[in-house]
Amino acid sequence: MKILVAEPMSPAAIELLRRQPGFEVIESNPKEYEQHLGDCEAMLVRSAVKVKADTLAKAPRLRVIGRAGVGVDNVEVPAATAAGVIVMNAPLGNIISAAEHTIGMIFASARHIPQAHAKLTKGEGVDKQWGTENIQPSFDFKFYPFVWQNGGDLFNKDYTECILNQEKAVQAFEFIYALRQYAPAPEEAQSGSPQSGKLMMWGDWELMNTLFVGQLPFEYSVAPPPASPNTGEIMFCGDAPGWAMPKGVKHPTESWEWMKFLFTPESLFRLFVAIAAPPPRISMLQTDEYFKKHPKYPNPELCFEITQMRMKAFKNTPKISNYEEAKTAMGEEMSLVWAGTMGLKEGIDKVTAKWTELVKEAVIDPDVGCAGKFC
Amino acid sequence: MSVIARWRKPSLARQEAIFGFIFIGPWIIGFLALQLGPMITSLVLSFTEYQIVAAPKFVGIDNYAKLFTADPSFLDALKVTFTYGLVATPAGLVLGLLIAILLNQNVPGLMVWRTVYYLPAVVSGVAVGMLWVWIFHSEFGLINLALRIILGIQGPAWLAHPSWALWALIIMSFWGVGGSMVVNLAGLQGIPTELYEAASIDGATWWHKFWRVTLPMLSPVLFFNLVMGVIGSFQYFTNAYVMTGGGPGRSTLFYNLYLYKNAFQYFKMGYASALAWVLFLIIMLLTVLIFRSSPLWVHYEGSVKGR
């Protein structure tokens, strides 16, 4: 007798059938079983194969259909009866397993096991505290707009002139922003320290510059090296701030969203160009000791002179920027988000409102301008 | 013959006056240079916009106007400071009084107890702040540990939660009741015992003795503690700066801390000066109020009030 096993079944069952003398077992699968229908006398199905009237019509010699399961909903029983085919099931087959599974689900729900597992794998651990206290924007801030001319030099070839242009600065930020697409997902986010091996949303110029000259085995390297065409060294007069999200931060999703907000061109412009940079910010950068102390600046005297020149270039009364207030506003609102008493969207809205206010207060030199679209 | 103008020796009174001025001279110079001078400068600066890199620019009452109309942080700061003052000061007074009464009796180890209670009042500064940061730690701090062991509840994340940070600071202020306790003790010991004996003879209960003898005789001391407490609570800065830096959101942004931020972080000296003078006016108003109310409840020896 030919028996068609229309779906993959347990080998033990097939073995049982094969051992009977006179039984010929054809193993098939739901896609191909129809070709064997013509001469089979018995058929075994599970749940994928739907035995309807036309299937029965294709199997004239069929005498019995065995369903490896409890219900027979995938077999049209009236049609089988009309065709004279016996339909059998296995009513006690897996009732013990189903019962065990149900009890297991009851326990899992009662003890919140799936939620705990999800939390653990997401890195939240058992700590109920929110917080990204590890996100410290590296506001060791001595920013100057970066210039993408002369291959990234701030100076001309003779090092007699330093041209700082806001439009170029905005371009620089758009470049940083474009780096986002190369950043890893929050789950893979790692520290932005040079030793970590993975870059994430780190806008620090030093890091990016070392990255660009190929000194570190980072995975992402997307920009042409902003090196001096003369010496090959990176030429800049200041650092730009950056952010990184260390491993193990408590709520990576929210932190990621927050950092994406910080890296929008509008935010970057508000925070680092309109609020902070013009008018010139008083910082240690403007003393020559700073330049002498930091060996990476090849021309400390020139850098110092450039900053002095820049201060004079601004026609407004020099003013200390609103950068600290912007940072405080950000900290105040976001600390409520991290404490869990305010939603992220609301926090971002409040921070944006405060920054817009501060941009209005920051007096931007009309000659230098506002680079148009971000004011 | 030439007439030589003789320097007549000044009279005794005049001499004494001159010596008097010489003696208080150092203090006068210090006062003028270090207190009165800066006060006047700050008053003048409060009408200017002064950011250190440039000369002060006169803006009239702009700073004050902005303070009262356009600054939500100012209102938050006031709210926080007033909450702290209204809760911590009376509670501290009451606690100090209770402990002083307790330690006025013959308990074993009296001197040890008095020393122990007074000790926290003399330590201060950043170290204390860091100590209390540890005590308020959400997992391993003493307070949450005690709550977990004794009461079985999970304490809040004290300094990280906007609703609890201020309460943490208030609780922390109670460890300084030793200062007022010592003054209360001195006052308690100055109450003549005849009064108590007379009260006992008249059949007074302990409550009557407390309410009718102790408190009135102690009221000058309580008055002093109240005034000092109010002034101190409005000048609260160190712990807020060290422990929370303004707290989650602006929940521990004390007035002094906000002033500090404006002056030394945002470099808005004119605005900060305006803030300082508003604080001065507030404290002065409260102190005047307390002084004006004192005839109602402060009994100085020798004055008879009420029945």
Q: What is the pLDDT of residues A302-328, one digit of tens each?
A: 555 555 544 454 444 455 667 678 778
Please report, for residues B68, B197, B209, B210, B214, the alpha-carbon distance to residue B206 in angstroms, rounded to integers and kept in the order given.
Answer: 50, 12, 5, 6, 10
Greatest Cα-to-Cα distance within chain B, rounded to the nearest angstrom? 106
CB contact under 8 A, B162 and A341: yes
* HSE of A198, CA atoms in CB hemisphere, 13 A: 15
Residues of B in contact with A131 (CB under 8 A): 160
Q: Which two tokens stand for residue A375?
A: 């004011």
Q: Which residue of A has its CA nearest to B139?
A: A127
Asked if A97 reaches chain B (Cβ–Cβ under 8 Å), the answer is: no
> Which residues on chain A are in Cβ contact (under 8 Å) with B160?
129, 131, 338-339
CB A277 within 8 A of CB A358: no
State yes or no: pLDDT of A174 exceeds 60: no
Check CB contact of A341 with chain B, cutoff 8 Å: yes
- Which residues does chain B have within 8 Å of residue A318's beta carbon, measured at their own beta carbons? 53-54
Q: How far is B102 from chain A (nearest CA, A)?
A: 41
The pTM for the full model equals: 0.60
pLDDT of residue A209: 37
- C-beta atoms of A324 and B54 within 8 A: no
Take residue A134 and report the two structure tokens written for it: 């590890």
Adjacent-strand bridge partners of A153: A149
H/E stretch holding A49 reads none
The overall longest dimension of chain A from CA atoms, in Å, is 105
- CB–CB of A341 and B267 under 8 A? no
Determine contact: B297 vs chain A, CB below 8 A. no
Give residue A97's Cα distance to chain centre: 40
Q: pLDDT at position A73, please? A: 85
d(CA B136, CA B1): 90
CA distance B159 to chain A (A): 10
pLDDT beyond 80 at A142: no
CA distance A144 to A283: 11
Residue B173: CB atoms within 10 A of its CB come to 21
Distance CA A198, CA A208 (A): 12
Q: Is A357 on the interface with B (CB under 8 A)?
A: no
Q: Using a CB–CB cutoff of 8 Å, tell me whether B160 touches chain A.
A: yes
Rounded Cα gap, residues B183 and B180, in angstroms: 5
Q: How many other CB atoms are found less than 10 A from the CB of residue A33?
A: 22
Single-letter amino acid code for the residue at A299: N
* Pair A233, A280: CB distance under 8 Å: no
CA distance B260 to B307: 50
Instruction: List pLDDT tens digits, range A248-292.
Output: 455 656 666 676 676 565 665 566 555 544 333 334 344 555 556
Reduce the secondary structure of A192-207 to three states and give it as a string: CCCCCCCCCCCCCHHH
B56 touching chain A per CB within 8 A: no
pLDDT score of A141: 25
CATH superfamily label, B69-123+175-297: MetI-like (1.10.3720.10)
Alpha helix (H) ranges present in B103-192? 110-122, 126-135, 142-146, 165-173, 177-189
Write down the pLDDT at residue A304. Answer: 55
Is residue B304 exposed (0-12), middle (13-18) or buried (19+ Cβ within 10 Å)?
exposed
With an 8 Å Cβ cutoff, are B249 and A320 in contact?
no
- What is the fold, at CATH topology level, of the domain defined by A2-88? Rossmann fold (3.40.50)
B147 class by beta-carbon count within 10 Å (0-12 exposed, 13-18 middle, 19+ buried): middle
Q: What is the ipTM, given to two decimal places?
A: 0.73
Closest alpha carbon to B143 in B182, B117, B171, B115: B171
Q: Torsion-angle region of residue A147: left (phi > 0), alpha (psi -120 to 50) or beta?
A: beta
The helix-helix angle for A344-361 and A323-338 (nearest 10°) equals 170
Low-confidence residues in chain B, pLDDT < 70: 1-6, 53, 302-307
Cβ neighbours of residue A95 under 8 Å, at least 6 residues apart?
A70
Residues 167 through 226 of chain B touching chain A, CB cutoff 8 Å? none
Q: What is the pLDDT of residue A335?
A: 79
Q: Do B52 and A335 touch (CB under 8 A)?
A: no
Best residue in A128, A314, A336 for a mutation probing chain B (most B CBs within 10 Å): A336
Q: Does B153 touch chain A (CB under 8 A)?
A: no
Judging contacts by C-beta atoms under 8 Å, the chain B residues touching residue A335 are 247-249
Q: Is the pLDDT of residue A247 over 60?
A: no
Distance CA B201, CA B209 (A): 11
**The pLDDT value given to residue A249:** 52
Which chain A residues touch B265 with a CB distance below 8 Å?
Answer: 324, 328
Please name the residue ranges forming H helices in chain A. Answer: 11-19, 53-58, 77-83, 95-110, 113-122, 166-178, 205-212, 252-262, 265-268, 288-293, 300-313, 323-338, 344-361
Is residue A349's pLDDT more than 60?
A: yes
**Interface contacts (A, B; CB < 8 Å):** 54
Of A317, A328, A336, nearest to B261 by CB-CB distance is: A328
Q: Does A328 touch chain B (CB under 8 A)?
A: yes
- Asked if A257 reaches chain B (Cβ–Cβ under 8 Å), the answer is no
Share of chain A above pLDDT 70, in %: 42
Most confident of A41-50, A144-153, A256-265, B51-60: A41-50
**DSSP 8-state symbol, A306:** H
CA A86 to chain centre: 56
Helix (H, G, I), strand (E, B) or coil at A24: strand
3-state secondary structure of A370: coil
Residue type, B256: N
> What pLDDT is stored for residue A243 in this prediction?
44
Does B75 touch chain A if contact means CB atoms closer than 8 Å?
Answer: no
The least confident of A32-36, A117-121, B9-13 is A117-121
Say if the Cβ atoms of B246 and A328 lie within 8 Å. yes
Distance from CA of A317 to the nearest CA of B (A): 7
Residue of A nearest to B159 (CA): A339
pLDDT range class, residue A331, cuts 50, 70, 90: confident
Could you tell me the residue ranges of all domains in chain B?
69-123+175-297
Note whether A41 contacts B: Cβ–Cβ < 8 A. Answer: no
Q: What pLDDT is attached to residue B18?
A: 92
Q: Which residues of B touch A286 (CB under 8 A)?
A: none
Task: Give the separation between CA A211 and CA A189, rounded to whole angstroms.
Answer: 18
Domain with CATH 3.40.50.720 in chain A: 2-88
Check residue A62 and give its pLDDT. Answer: 87
